[in-house]
Amino acid sequence: MSTIIYSMCGEGRGHATRVQTVVDILGPEHRFILLAARDAYDQLYERYSDHPRVSVRRLPGLFFAYRGNHVDYLRSICASVPYLAKLGGLVRYVSQMIERERPDLAITDFEPVLPRAARRMNVPWISLDHQHFLSISSFRSLPMRFRWRGLFLRSSIPLFYSGQAGEAVSSFHHLPPRPGTENIPRIGVLLRDSVLQARNEGPSNAGHVLVYIRRSAPNSFWNTLSRCGRRIKVYGHSTPPVLPNLEYRGIADEPFVQDLATCECLITTAGNQLIGEAFSLGKPVLAIPEPGNFEQQLNAWLVTDSQGGWSTTFEQLSPHWIEQFFVALPHLRARIAGMNVCGNEAARNFIESHLPISLEATRTQEVDMARLDAA
């Protein structure tokens, strides 16, 4: 049994879902030490608190700061100063953990401490995330308003870490590769078991519209939804006002997957992981990025580019606009039917290929030994 130490950014629940899926698809041949903060820690600890092969431990992280429902980059930079001041201490803390646990491989999902500790302790490490989408993608097809910001953020990504033994990028939709990055694996989203099970059961439509808003939304958004004449099931941290047709369900993973599998469509802030899960279940997406969040703005544009959904802003959404989206649903479903957004097998192959002794080699040796014994 090999040991894998795995760190992730704690902003949102998509990172934790991706890590959870990796734990599941690699199976019982591995022991995992998961390092996470905030929502990611809470989600993973709840799932693995009594698990014999998985240990979940807190590790402080970097986060966006918000003003209202807008990402505030200046406040985010100021808020990062205390974290950067203790970065050296965090690296020593994780280095000591590595010395005790002796992992065979380190994996990071856009988290900067573990790569530095792994390098210090001479442990091989790889990167599996969505953020490196900016590093590997050609921006030629992007609108000009996105290109300059994409170039700026691309230049900042190596500040998180560099020098990984391998990297793979997970996304529901990929752009053509940037020259020199053609050999970096571009994989789909990682689908947890509950989503795969729902997908295998086939398409279903109970007639409701599913809404996931991570943080907050203006009252005009909720009023528009209330007036659309459909049953609306709402999940997320944003509590809607009491209005006709809105049912608030908070945060609940399994009921959410059930409602996602049976919804007419998904309206959501533009997180990569959830959009990919919706597409995998044949559900069109109306993506509304958090104001000021460039990653979500880019994801929303990719939804439109994939032809599996539409994108808009909270300010632009109107009853007429959303009714036109509902009219387009049959066409969008037909486009989604031809997509393959599942990256589970590719992710497993990528990780196993970077283990000191890959599981594939081990399985081949076991088969060869069995044949010798039979002979």
Q: Are residues 173 and 243 in the same domain?
A: no
Q: State the pLDDT at residue 280.
A: 97
Q: State the pLDDT at residue 292.
A: 86
Query: Which residue in 48, 75, 47, 49 sits closest to 62, CA to CA?
Result: 75
Domain enclosing residue 109, as ranges: 2-190+343-374
Q: Are residues 33 and 149 in the same domain?
A: yes
Distance CA 230, CA 190 (A): 30
Q: Are residues 49 and 111 in the same domain?
A: yes
Q: Are residues 94 and 204 in the same domain?
A: no
Which residues partner with 287 through β-bridges? 268, 311
> How many domains, in total, are found in the chain?
2
Distance CA 107, CA 65 (A): 26
Instruction: Note the pTM of the prediction, 2 decimals.
Output: 0.89
Supply the CATH number for residue 244's domain: 3.40.50.2000
Q: Are residues 24 and 172 in the same domain?
A: yes
Distance CA 260, CA 287 (A): 15
Q: Are residues 119 and 257 in the same domain?
A: no
**Strand 265-268 to strand 285-287: parallel, antiparallel, or no bridges (unpaired)?**
parallel
Token pair recorded at residue 203: 């398409």
Q: Are residues 135 and 165 in the same domain?
A: yes
Q: Are residues 237 and 135 in the same domain?
A: no
C-alpha distances in Å from residue 98, one per residue of 10, 23, 94, 124, 191: 21, 19, 6, 12, 29
Q: Are residues 184 and 243 in the same domain?
A: no
Q: Are residues 235 and 249 in the same domain?
A: yes
CA dihedral 217, 218, 220, 224 (to 10 degrees): 10
Q: Are residues 257 and 369 in the same domain?
A: no
Q: Are residues 227 and 96 in the same domain?
A: no
- Mean pLDDT, 10 residues at a time, over the chain (375 residues)? 91 83 93 93 92 95 64 63 84 98 96 96 96 95 92 89 95 96 97 95 92 90 95 92 94 93 97 96 97 92 97 95 97 95 97 77 49 52
